[in-house]
Structure 1
């Protein structure tokens, strides 16, 4: 069984969310865990838009979720909610697809006005999919992520600290065989 699956709900390849994703990968790699990755934007758009549950790529992505104990969900904030591309993928998970999973939601948005997006927009959808153990999560302002060259990003120290704290809130027993 895979221990961790990261679902990245960014519709674009060049995004500040990549800086957060990189920090999360470094954290898990540092404790000897190689997470499975689902970049929703890389799934076939036809399968997502037309709800093709039988698509080979959707079945493979859903298997990564099924085999994980921990699901980290990354999303940008658009119109005070999570990304539409993430929603189209979540719609293709089985009705109880997140049952028994520990979920860590992480969002990047442009203003603190969207701070409650995780609680009021994302968590109800995750709960509808059977998630009962949803961790507090982390909301990050996009101006706390410095854009470097070559699609690289640097998180400011306060964000790194909050992100590590969120990642450390995952029970160690869920990370071991």
Structure 2
């Protein structure tokens, strides 16, 4: 079935069909750098969801006006990014790990989202860091961040280390981890909501 996803376990033992036109995805790059390892993974998820027929949009927080992210002024670009995020069925957030947690830029953006604005949505946490020692940032930082706004978070987030990148490109095993996360989020998008 090329037009969507068909899986068992729907109501009363039937099947549930996900129409790709119904599934919208926002991929948030929470890195202050326009080119980063976390952004590379976020862009890969964008491609994976698009290949499934979903409409996907990238929100690059580094390109948004800082004063608006701080709540000092309003800016159409920030308003659009917030609206895109709250309309999406699946929300991907990618961030580098700083001081054992997600970036301050990502925190600023999530602070601007209305309470419960991610209820009924699927959260996909992605983080990158220098070493494996910060892998818990996914479970102890990003997962609670999503949950605080009501999102259902996939079971296995993605964490990549510097050693898993060569010339800015993610290694095959890291791309496979992203692919698994995408499959789980896609299945949950049909089961939740």
TM bracket (short chain): 0.7 to 0.9
Structure ID, larger Rg: 2
Which 5+ residue runs of structure 2 have no aligned equivalent? 1-21
Match of 2:62 in 1: 41
Q: How much has 1:144 moved relative to structure 2?
A: 0.5
Q: How much has 1:112 moved relative to structure 2?
A: 1.1
1:134 aligns with 2:153: yes
TM-score (norm 2): 0.80
Cα distance change, pair 169–2 in 1 and its aligned pair in 2 (3 A): closer
Paired with 1:120 and 1:63, the residues of 2 have a C-alpha distance of 26
Paired with 2:127 and 2:185, the residues of 1 have a C-alpha distance of 17
RMSD: 1.8
Runs of 4+ in 1 over 4 A off after TM superposition: none
Matches within 5 A, 1:100-139: 100-131=120-151, 133-135=152-154, 136-139=156-159
Among 6, 13, 31, the alignment partner of 1:10 is 31
- How many residue pairs match? The answer is 168
TM-score (norm 1): 0.86
Cα distance change, pair 36–126 in 1 and its aligned pair in 2 (3 A): same
Cα distance change, pair 113–7 in 1 and its aligned pair in 2 (3 A): same
The answer to whether the 8 Å contact 2:28/2:42 transfers is no
Which 5+ residue runs of structure 1 have no aligned equivalent? 148-152
The answer to whether the 8 Å contact 1:7/1:38 transfers is yes
Where 1:7 maps in the other structure, the secondary structure is strand
Asked which structure has the greater RCO (Cα within 8 Å, sep 6+), the reply is: 1
